[in-house]
């Protein structure tokens, strides 16, 4: 199909989606090894992250597919009209909810679908427009990203979760790019976390740099918090 990645494409040094930064050495990202967090919190987060990812991978393909469909329906309820909006999504990895059908439908509904990639060392993510049929290339860890397309600032960021808590804080993969990108955003996008209900935890032990989401969608519920301002 025309939207399949080009297997012969050259892998750029920095191209990568937002959600795989746990694989990168902290020094590569301009962060200290502890990410400026207390050692005990960093260790707890690393262990909790490993546990939650293992539980997510233990779900069967049928379970993940069913949950992904319900999450997509939840997104339709939360964002019923995507027309005129630039929406950042992601390519699924390590058992994350697969929202590629929902993603491909953004453009026919009048919105602009974006995929994130790393522009350079220690820099916030950039978001490049993509629609079904556009050429994809493979970046770090063989994850597709748009080979071409304009860079656009998103109105809505839909981010996969490793874990989440009642205060709408997101436990990610440990690289810090999510918070770094939102902190550098010139506006205030609507940030929606997506994941499985089993990823709910009592607290992520948020630090000063952590930025809460405005909503969370799982296969069982839609949680909404404070609306973004500014």
Strands lying side by side in the sheet with 125-130: 125-130, 112-118, 86-88, 156-160, 190-194, 215-217, 222-224
Q: What are phi and psi of 123, to 5 degrees?
A: -105, 155
Average pLDDT over residues 195-223: 94
pLDDT class of 157 with cuts at 50, 70, 90: very high
Least confident of 34-43, 86-95, 213-222: 34-43
Tell me the average pLDDT across 62-80.
97
Decide: 182 and 223 in contact? Cβ < 8 Å. Answer: no
Q: Is residue 143 helix, strand or coil?
A: coil
Given a cut of 50, whether residue 5 has pLDDT beyond it is no
Mean pLDDT to the nearest integer, 168-179: 78
Coil/strand/helix, residue 28: helix
- Cα(3)–Cα(26) distance, integer angstroms: 33
d(CA 199, CA 64): 13
Q: Rounded CA gap, 12 and 164, in Å? A: 32
What pTM did the predictor assign? Answer: 0.79
Q: How confident is the model at residue 28 (pLDDT cuts 50, 70, 90)?
A: very low
Q: How far apart are the two ends of the chain, measured CA to CA in Å?
A: 42
pLDDT at residue 205 is higher than 70? yes
What does pLDDT average to over the chain?
81
For residue range 83-122, what is the model confidence (pLDDT) as tens digits?
A: 999 999 999 989 999 999 999 999 999 999 999 887 666 6
| 196, 219 Cβ separation under 8 angstroms | yes
- For the chain, counts of helices (H) and of strands (E): 4, 11
pLDDT tens, residue by residue, 134-155:
998 887 667 788 988 899 999 9
């Amino acid at each position: 199909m025309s939207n399949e990645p080009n297997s012969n494409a050259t892998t750029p040094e920095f191209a990568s989606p937002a959600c795989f930064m746990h694989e990168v050495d902290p020094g590569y990202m301009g962060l200290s090894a502890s990410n400026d967090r207390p050692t005990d919190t960093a260790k707890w987060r690393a262990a909790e992250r490993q546990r939650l990812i293992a539980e997510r991978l233990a779900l069967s393909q049928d379970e993940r597919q069913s949950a992904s469909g319900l999450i997509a329906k939840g997104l339709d309820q939360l964002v019923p009209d995507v027309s005129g909006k630039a929406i950042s999504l992601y390519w699924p990895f390590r058992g994350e909810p697969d929202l590629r059908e929902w993603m491909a439908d953004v453009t026919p509904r009048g919105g602009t679908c974006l995929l994130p990639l790393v522009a350079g060392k220690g820099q916030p993510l950039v978001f490049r427009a993509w629609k079904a049929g556009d050429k994809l290339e493979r970046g770090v860890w063989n994850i597709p990203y748009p080979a071409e397309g304009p860079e656009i600032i998103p109105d809505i960021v839909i981010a996969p979760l490793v874990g989440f808590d009642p205060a709408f804080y997101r436990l990610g993969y440990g690289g810090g790019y999510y918070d770094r990108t939102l902190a550098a955003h010139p506006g205030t996008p609507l940030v929606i976390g997506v994941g499985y209900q089993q990823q709910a935890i009592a607290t992520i032990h948020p630090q000063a740099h952590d930025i809460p989401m405005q909503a969370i969608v799982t296969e069982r519920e839609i949680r909404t918090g404070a609306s973004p301002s500014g």
